[in-house]
Amino acid sequence: MKKLIFASIMLVALLSACGEKVKENKQEKQKPTGSIHLTKAEFLTKVTNFETNPTEWKYLGDKPCIIDFYATWCGPCKTVAPILEEIANEYKGKIYVYKIDVDAQPEIAAAYGIQSIPTILFCPMTGNPQITQGAMPKEAFTKAVAEILIKK
């Protein structure tokens, strides 16, 4: 009987500890990210309104931005995602890093002729965005931020 009571107490303690670990893991997974996922409505107000001005690029943001056109199933997109998170956190307050899921927002992708992913737009405050396709190393993103967006 003593062994059964002891085993029950140990089981409760173990389950309690596991519950705390699950809570910690959930909190880690819910950390805020530096990148911002945009819907069409948000894109039209934060980036550019391609519906009212389909032929001319006019950036609406208050800071330069990177726009990542991606898909959740895309291998190279998964490679680029953590790099963009690092860039978003390192340049927080200086640039935005926006993400557009081409499957969830096909109208935006179609408006800009996005046919392969990842496609990355570097959008300075003035002038037209510069575009690149495919996965790039962090050094290439850092260089593009410095030369295109921040212009140091």
Catalytic residues: 74, 77
Integer angstrom CA distances of residue 87 from 13, 67, 137, 142, 147: 42, 12, 11, 7, 14
Sign of CA dihedral 121, 33, 38, 49: negative
Q: Token digits for 145?
A: 């931020």
- Residue 105, SS3 per DSSP: coil
Q: Tell me how many degrees the CA angle 105-110-116 measures, rounded to the nearest 5.
A: 90
C-alpha span between 151 and 4 (Å, rounded): 70
